[in-house]
Structure 1
Amino acid sequence: MKNIFLALLTCFIITVSYSQDTLTIMHYNILNYGNNTGYCSQENNNIDSKDEYIRTIFNHVKPDIFTVNEISNSQDIQSRMLDNNLNQDGLDKYEMANFIKIADSYIVNQMYFNSSKLGLHSHSIAQSYIRDIDIYKLYYKSNDIEYGDTAFITCLVAHLKAGNSSENANKRSLMVSNTLDYLDDLALDDNYMFMGDFNTYKSSEAAYQLLINNQNNSVQFIDPIDTPGNWNNNYDYRFVHTQSTHSSSNGCAASGGMDDRFDFILISENVRDGNKYVQYLNDSYVAIGQDGLHFNSSINSSPQNQSASEDVIEALYGNSDHLPVVVKVAVDKNPSFINHETVIDELIFNNPIINNLQIKITSADQHRMGISIYNMLGNVVFRDDKFLISGEQIIKYSIDVPSGIYMVVFTEDTGMVTSKKLIVTR
């Protein structure tokens, strides 16, 4: 850290090898995990058996981000998932998000993540009509994180209203509309993923259309496999169906075999195009256990499902009536050293200062900028985030720090980082 600042001060050229990491992201409706109902019980949905199944599936995929629907609202049960199934065989790197809820629902969403690569930035609720839609914002533990530069991934996890009726379709649409309004109010140009059990029967449904045709481009979502259509009970879409793993019901799991596309991971344009350090890896989208040969059939029926090992297929069948959906993304390990274009035409400030810092910025376009001040130990002593308008503007701060040499770091939302020396005298 000291070397970075000394290099900036002395105008040395720092050469950092460009490198990427790959993150695996899995979403899964785990069918009333730890939740007993009138139809799902310990006889037909035993939690000890589910633990064995989930361990098998989890070890097969090894996700860095694992989001779920239909887990009990009991925090003890949510911790059980972490301790019994994820942090096994000597692992202790997985953590779960803090639990919050607003809607009165006995089944909820949750997120688990690989803490050796990721940290939880925030968790909020976008909307609570029928069920909460959760927003989990994660940051990548990049090589530059102490310098203030890293990638963020924001996962929206939804379990939309079930039912093949116009009334239920309208309820799904309202849940999505509420969520998009929330994102519009945030006005953040982030790396978004919208994942969950959507319970949609066709791509023309209003809820789905709102997601993929939203007028706000920053929160317009994309189907990575670009497969619109009438998915329900349609042989032409047999390779994308995610429900049901069972042809006949055991009283808990839905019946009918593989004939619906309910489960999705949609991505924003930033993720598709890699605009903000995170990029979808082409052809990585897959429904685990889907081989296209079990339309209207159980996934473990004849012919043998060879899309995964036999124990994984049996675990998928035994645990839930849904298949998990997986994507992979590339994330930049050294975001501060990637060349990006600037929209700043002029950036000057008074120097040295005693207390008051006045920054003059002339911007070619409106955008966000992070302003951070570091001491020579690499510690942040001041930080702010500004929305800049097109043209000239003056930003004023009162800076209460000891006399000394500091570094002011300006981070544009294009990824461009500019560093300038600041001298404070008392």
Structure 2
Amino acid sequence: MIKKTTFWLLACLLTINSVTAQENLKVMFYNLLNFPNEDAIPNRINDLGVILSDYQPDLFMVCELNNESGADDILAVLQANVSADFEMATFQFNTSDDSGSDQNDLQNLIFYNSSKFILQSQAIVTTIFRDFNHYKLRLNTADQATNPIEFDAIVCHLKASSGLENEALRFQMVEDLVDYLDTFPADSKVIIGGDFNFYTSSEDGFQELTDFNNNIVFYDPVNRIGSWSNNSSYLDVFTQSTRTQSGLGGATGGFDDRFDFILTTNNLLAADPELSYVANTYKAYGNNNNPSCYNREINSSDCSGSDYSFAIRDALYNFSDHLPVTLELQTNASLSTDEFIANNGIEFVGGNVIDNYLRLKINPLLSLDSPITVYNALGQVVESINANGSNYIEQDISQLANGVYYLTISSNNINVLKFIKSN
């Protein structure tokens, strides 16, 4: 019965009224550590579910994804734990060749909340080692036909390891990207998320990305420029390694490097009301900036703090040798999510983005012969509400987790309504 309900809910064609005022868009980049082929820790997907459920990203950018099956598993976790509206770009195998015959199985991809973003196009930038993947996104706004708000998201994974030869390969990869970006309009809004494997900002590859003479120039939103590797002065932006124990896959050096970044163009750092970076939202997710964490495992007591609990840090430890990087963008445009609030007898009071109280207006002509039933994204009943003849209902739903929910009445011909709990 639950499966049937799930399919029925997900099959409904739903539209929504506009979500007004300022809207924050949460972005996360994550090195997935050879997912799903790396299986030293079983059922890692469950740990990813903990991470995504906690952060609730709107745009999820990844590298070290092995295959389309793994991508499908991630999409299912996002749909179950964040929003049923999540979609993914078309999975594409790497076209660059680092070991002959296209044997590289480390792919990049994005997943996005389709109620907030529309994927306009995607392209591959081939390099000497691994591809860059370029995705053009448009905000799903109410007036997108007349005033489209677009930006470009690029995902990358530069050559790993220290030494002049590897630095030169990283530089050559970045040069290929810069040549590609020369074809962009100079005022393009661009973010690039990736595992850059830079040990210092003085590396030629980093210098090339941030060169003021380029058509597209990237900036570090937190302006933590320097020699990051094994330098505890930059512990607040460290992302690797989450582990010291061997045999789990990935690096084992302990917490001592900043390899993962989200960089942005300068026009996103400006106060553009249509789309801009939200100050102080750039984080190395899971990093409590605890000085005792230097060269330790991320789930140890040495890495404790008020921002990220042990449960979160343990999930991060289990899933990857990297931490994700996150930031938020903001728009003042009215987003138009895929939902229908019809004048069919039940209406949301104050819109369908709910905090702790679900407020409903009931048409007096509507006869409610059975309770209003609330389902989660898995089609499971989580709440049953009795109207008791009232034309106004205020129901406490503070016990429900943030996410997407649906409500309907089985005994009436009522369209399924969808709301988002967010507080």
Q: Which amino acid aligns with 2:91?
A: F
| CA distance in structure 2 between the partners assigned to 1:262 and 1:215 by the alignment | 24
- 2:297 corresponding residue in structure 1: 298
Does structure 2 retain, via aligned residues, the 8 Å contact 1:246–1:256? yes
- 1:98 corresponding residue in structure 2: 90
Does structure 2 retain, via aligned residues, the 8 Å contact 1:126–1:179? yes
| CA distance in structure 2 between the partners assigned to 1:284 and 1:214 by the alignment | 25
Does structure 1 retain, via aligned residues, the 8 Å contact 2:296–2:303? no
Q: Which runs of 5+ in 1 are unaligned?
A: 1-15, 336-426
Question: Which of 257, 267, 270 is 1:270 aligned to?
Answer: 267
Does structure 1 retain, via aligned residues, the 8 Å contact 2:239–2:255? yes
Q: Report the secondary structure of 2:301's partner residue.
A: coil
The alpha-carbon deviation at position 188 of structure 1 amounts to 4.9
The alpha-carbon deviation at position 308 of structure 1 amounts to 1.2
- 1:79 corresponding residue in structure 2: 72
The alpha-carbon deviation at position 186 of structure 1 amounts to 3.1
| CA distance in structure 1 between the partners assigned to 2:19 and 2:288 by the alignment | 40
| CA distance in structure 1 between the partners assigned to 2:303 and 2:128 by the alignment | 42
Higher-Rg structure is 1
Relative to 1, partners in 2 of residues 1:137 and 1:192: Cα closer, same or farther, differing over 3 Å?
same
Q: Which amino acid aligns with 1:286?
A: K
- 1:178 corresponding residue in structure 2: 176
Q: TM-score, normalised by structure 1?
A: 0.69
Relative to 1, partners in 2 of residues 1:45 and 1:148: Cα closer, same or farther, differing over 3 Å?
farther
Question: Which of 47, 53, 56 is 2:50 aligned to?
Answer: 56
Q: Report the secondary structure of 1:219's partner residue.
A: coil
Does structure 2 retain, via aligned residues, the 8 Å contact 1:23–1:328? yes
Q: Which runs of 5+ in 2 are unaligned?
A: 1-17, 97-101, 336-423
Q: Which amino acid aligns with 1:80?
A: D
- 1:322 corresponding residue in structure 2: 322
Q: Report the secondary structure of 1:68's partner residue.
A: strand
| CA distance in structure 1 between the partners assigned to 2:27 and 2:235 by the alignment | 23
Does structure 2 retain, via aligned residues, the 8 Å contact 1:151–1:331? no
Q: TM-score, normalised by structure 2?
A: 0.69
Q: Which piece of structure 1 moves more, 192-201 or 245-254? A: 245-254
Does structure 1 retain, via aligned residues, the 8 Å contact 2:242–2:254? yes
| CA distance in structure 1 between the partners assigned to 2:311 and 2:19 by the alignment | 41
Question: Which of 65, 69, 86 is 2:63 aligned to?
Answer: 69
Does structure 1 retain, via aligned residues, the 8 Å contact 2:296–2:302? no
The alpha-carbon deviation at position 240 of structure 1 amounts to 1.1
Aligned residues: 308
Deviations 1:2-56 (A, max 9, x none): xxxxxxxxxxxxxx99833110000000100012xxxx4x3x143xx21111000
Q: Report the secondary structure of 1:88's partner residue.
A: helix
- 1:416 corresponding residue in structure 2: none
The alpha-carbon deviation at position 229 of structure 1 amounts to 1.1
Q: Which piece of structure 1 moves more, 276-285 or 159-168? A: 276-285
Does structure 2 retain, via aligned residues, the 8 Å contact 1:53–1:315? yes
Q: Report the secondary structure of 2:120's partner residue.
A: strand
Please list, as runs of the form range in 1=range in 2, the aligned pairs for 1:312-391 lying within 5 A after superposition: 312-333=312-333
Root-mean-square deviation (CA), in Å? 2.0
Question: Which of 188, 191, 213 is 1:190 aligned to?
Answer: 188
Higher relative contact order (CA 8 A, sep 6+): 2
Relative to 1, partners in 2 of residues 1:26 and 1:181: Cα closer, same or farther, differing over 3 Å?
same
The alpha-carbon deviation at position 78 of structure 1 amounts to 1.1
Residue identity over aligned pairs, in percent, reads 34
Please list, as runs of the form range in 1=range in 2, the aligned pairs for 1:129-278 lying within 5 A after superposition: 129-145=128-144, 147-216=145-214, 218-275=215-272, 277-278=274-275
- 2:34 corresponding residue in structure 1: 32
